[in-house]
Amino acid sequence: MISRYGKRLCDTYRTFRDAETGFAERLLILENRWLKVEVQLKFLHDVWSGLPGRFQLHFNSILAVINTKLIAANDLCNQSIEKQDQQRDYLHALLTKGKLRRGAFAITFKDQIDGVIRELDQWQQNLLDPTWYQLVLVPGLQVQQAVDRSISESDGPEHTLAGLRYLLSNKDKVDNPTTDVFLPYDSIEPMASGVEYSKATLGVDKTSQEVVLLDRIQIPAGTNREQSVSDVYHLVKFFSSIDPELFGFLRCLGALKDDKHCDLVFRFPEEHDDPTSLRGLLLQADKSFPLNARLNIAQMLARSCMFLHDCQFVHKSLRPENIVCFSTQGKYPDKPYMIGLDRFRQIDARSMRTNDDLWYKDIYRHPSRQGIRPEKDYIMQHDIYSLGVCLLEIGLWRSFLQWEDGSDGPAPNEEYISNKSLGIKDPRKRAHEIKRALIGHAEQRLPGAMGQVYTSTVIACLRCLDPGNTDFGDHEDLREETGILVGLRFVEKILMKLLSITV
């Protein structure tokens, strides 16, 4: 049904291809968009019986949306033809009225076709794509065979999906790390400057002379160095094969390695320069920073979090210092990219339950993950909680930390994090008091700043591990090996809601 309505719409508009300058270009854009959708629809049809029931329900709701939109677009198209010619048969109108009549129709349809393109783009980016890449987690021969067929038949999202599935299926293998991933240590010339309020540094690639960003991953004493190097290898593999604009991670060129650490080497986004940390932006508290730019940062961070989990990694250190933003030719820096992966691990790897006891990091951690010896193993929902704290700061556009002149480290912004709360001696009570305060700020301050949908999304993140919560589901019911159910709930309750917000 969906393919029929989409094809019929393209056929109708194709009738007016030569009617007016600019119409053919719009039609080409529409046909290209629809071709991509058709390929993905065919892929879903081929794998449908092999998808888990929860996946089928989710995709059904997404497909129902585009089906309704295409029916409405066809109806509007037919109504416009009838209104202008008072005839149901538009082909008859063209034959009897000639080119002049086609021109009149084309003028009417230019706005319509632009609207259809926007609707397709929004549906694909905000509804289909977030779940599409979770197909990397679906096991089974049927899905893999469909992926293999699609590679030979088309060039599109299926190729990215196939590449990610290949990397996941081979995550326990290391091909040739010396030549494949790890770069000569002297191939990057360090620069004196770095990214303010971030541990990221800058360097110059001696071969290409381009400026690169360096993100250091420590190899703690007493840990399995071979396993740590293997994890870095696979992380580089993932980040070297993705689209930065789609996934919110910089493209990785490789890594520099010595006995104590590895430096991930990231390329700047095209036509972007002057990186700044999200912490730096929040400390400026620039009231002129546009609302749509703040919303774009929030939406992209949620996408990045989803992608990292789809690739079976957890970040473990998500906070504004570990997010760098880029601007384009003087525009506001609204392109965020996650860094700070020094504590990352693969989801199925054993949690060491080790941590630091730094309050300015703990406020971004769930209460069960605070202190030197956290009480719970690290799971994906802990990243989601950290995301919620970051989204709260972005929504309020205020930093929860502040730096005073001459101080060695940050101090709490008492408007949001009180010294009284931080002074509670019982670590567990302190952690839950800070969480309670954060939820209170979201409930009281966010609606006026960002609206109710954004507010409910932030609260859902902060409460994602509450027993019996209705927004995200009881975390005991969301524990399963592949992370599919957790990922779907995140897409439905967090990402799709954020992406639905427009300003």
Answer yes or no: is pLDDT of 451 > 60.
Answer: yes
CB 291 within 8 A of CB 241: no
Q: Can you tell me the mean pLDDT for 342-355?
A: 55
**Lowest mean pLDDT across 92-106, 209-223, 400-414, 479-493:** 92-106
What local confidence, expressed as pLDDT, does residue 100 receive?
Answer: 42
3-state secondary structure of 19: coil
Q: What is the pLDDT of residues 280-306, one digit of tens each?
A: 999 998 888 999 999 999 999 999 999
- Max mean pLDDT range (162-166, 215-219, 417-421): 417-421
Distance CA 381, CA 389 (A): 13
- From the DSSP assignment, how many helices (H) and strands (E) are in the chain? 19, 12
What local confidence, expressed as pLDDT, does residue 5 receive?
Answer: 67
> What's the mean per-residue pLDDT of the chain?
82
Answer yes or no: is pLDDT of 349 > 90.
Answer: no
Own/partner long-range contacts of 157-162 (Cβ < 8 Å, ≥24 apart): 157/36, 157/39, 157/40, 157/129, 157/132, 158/39, 158/40, 158/43, 160/133, 160/241, 160/242, 160/243, 161/132, 161/133, 161/135, 161/136
Answer yes or no: is pLDDT of 395 > 60.
Answer: yes
What local confidence, expressed as pLDDT, does residue 233 receive?
Answer: 86
CB 367 within 8 A of CB 466: no
What local confidence, expressed as pLDDT, does residue 419 receive?
Answer: 92
Distance CA 128, CA 147 (A): 17
What local confidence, expressed as pLDDT, does residue 331 receive?
Answer: 80
Q: What is the pLDDT of residues 65-101, one digit of tens each?
A: 888 888 887 777 676 655 544 444 444 544 444 444 5
Answer yes or no: is pLDDT of 447 > 50.
Answer: yes
Q: What is the pLDDT of residues 87-144, one digit of tens each?
A: 444 445 444 444 445 555 556 667 777 888 888 888 888 888 888 888 888 888 788 8
Distance CA 284, CA 3 (A): 49
Among all chains, which residue has been given the structure tokens 């989990």? 309
